Structure 1
């Protein structure tokens, strides 16, 4: 099983993170110890904006459970909860007025033990009411109402612990492999990952479809694009040819093509900004 670790401190996946942080309060918090093998972290966002702001995110290969309340919820003042499967495209969210979001980011492979009846790929590219996935359904007000942040975290812990994640060696295996892809730059090809794991490529693809929600090739690409995005926004002069080689691309043009297709703008647009 993937070893517990504290919430990440990087901003990978967030497009123009410094700009986002001037508009919202963004925090990551650790879940209860019993949940850490399955969860990356909780993420909390609050905002009170005089003018609308649009955020952009290159999604991680993770499922999220999201409790949300917006100023324009109308009659649904309690807010709502939804399961957000892995996003295949750039995620864009317009924020305006006042709002609050409390999210649960599962580790790649860590969602399946909470909803073992269906493959995780069933949720990929979809956002569905949490009541369609979990029983009992989540109560958004229990998570969103407390003024104290610690109370919101406790409510998330209580709900997820009550769901009783089922231990599953295959989920542990999928989590470990996804973590290897995330942390080891030398993992560049699905065939090599399959050989190292002692399985066929097809078996590895089935494992990822069932437990992660996308194929291993997609996970490899997404984590490399995350790194390229972080470099583009944090370094004044990126050597894209060198970075392409570091990330396992055959040449700079292929990296730029994948980056532009995923982020929506070429790397030069971000470095210039």
Structure 2
């Protein structure tokens, strides 16, 4: 979530770990509750994950958003999301996950009409633990058979995003002992975004995290740390996705502090 300190006054964000029974598929549950006196557009620098979101008026499945996710918040409200591990939504769908990218679908397309009733019950609850319990009890009998390739791909994503200085697809392929073509095919089939996007997004997350700390940053040094050829390259990359240069983004954080 971009500008987290700005939103903290009227947006409450929490996470819950999944139970061991669903942890093969689910990375975590996330909950957002808001109470804003005037409309506010929240923006999220997304990760390579598919989400099931219990929300009004109907639950949706969100594919990987390869740009910047934005949502208009008004009045009071809440949503509960299920963040699937990278690659691990593939067993829930008949098609490659790349077909979900940058799109949202009725959750009933994947989980049947009962998901709408469960979503209503989730949103009526004021207790996060109860909300997560409802979601888990719904998911458990609907879990597909384990897919060893999905597990392999999840581990691949975790490994190549753990170090943001890894920035070339051929480097990632060599690290994972696969060909570039194989890596591209697996990511399209299971993740819903190419390895180049995943590597780039990891670097942008690191840059945004540094900017949100509210301390002065040596942008040239950070660009070098993240594998950019120079500061201008980092600035172009960050601005293209976030909509503002990183130095300006960081300054706005310090100005509000």
TM-score (norm 1): 0.87
| Aligned counterparts of 1:269 and 1:204: Cα–Cα separation in 2 | 35
Counterpart of 1:50? 37
How do residues 177-196 of structure 1 correspond to structure 2 at under 5 angstroms?
Answer: 177-196=156-175
Counterpart of 1:268? 247
Counterpart of 2:103? 126
Please tell me whether the aligned partners of residues 114 and 166 of structure 1 are also in contact (alpha carbons under 8 angstroms).
no
How do residues 15-26 of structure 1 correspond to structure 2 at under 5 angstroms?
Answer: 15-26=2-13
Structure 1 or 2: more helix by fraction: 2
Counterpart of 1:144? 123
Q: 1:209 to 1:137 in 2, by over 3 A?
A: farther
Which stretch of structure 1 is more off in the superposition, 182-191 or 120-129?
Answer: 182-191
Q: Determine helix, strand or coil for the equivalent of 2:32.
A: strand
| Aligned counterparts of 1:51 and 1:245: Cα–Cα separation in 2 | 40
Q: Determine helix, strand or coil for the equivalent of 1:158.
A: helix
Q: Post-superposition shift, 1:186?
A: 4.4
| Aligned counterparts of 1:137 and 1:210: Cα–Cα separation in 2 | 27
CA RMSD of aligned residues (A): 1.5
| Aligned counterparts of 2:70 and 2:30: Cα–Cα separation in 1 | 17
Q: Post-superposition shift, 1:235?
A: 4.0
Residue by residue over 1:229-268, the C-alpha shift from the partner in whole angstroms, topping out at 9 and shown as x without a partner, is: 1111214211111111111111111111100001110112
| Aligned counterparts of 1:243 and 1:161: Cα–Cα separation in 2 | 43
Is 2:85 the counterpart of 1:107?
Answer: yes
Q: Post-superposition shift, 1:136?
A: 5.2
Counterpart of 1:8? none
Is 2:220 the counterpart of 1:241?
Answer: yes
User: Please, which runs of 5 or more residues in structure 1 have no aligned partner?
Assistant: 1-13, 70-78
Counterpart of 1:64? 51
Counterpart of 1:167? 146
Counterpart of 1:75? none
Q: Post-superposition shift, 1:84?
A: 0.6
Residue by residue over 1:49-75, the C-alpha shift from the partner in whole angstroms, topping out at 9 and shown as x without a partner, is: 222222111111111111113xxxxxx
Residue by residue over 1:142-179, the C-alpha shift from the partner in whole angstroms, topping out at 9 and shown as x without a partner, is: 32122322211111101111212321111011100100
Is 2:71 the counterpart of 1:93?
Answer: yes
List structure 1 runs of 4+ shifted beyond 4 angstroms.
Answer: none
How many correspondences in the alignment?
A: 250
Q: Determine helix, strand or coil for the equivalent of 1:132.
A: helix
Q: Post-superposition shift, 1:113?
A: 2.5
Counterpart of 2:58? 80
User: Please, which runs of 5 or more residues in structure 2 have no aligned partner?
Assistant: 253-257
TM-score (norm 2): 0.92
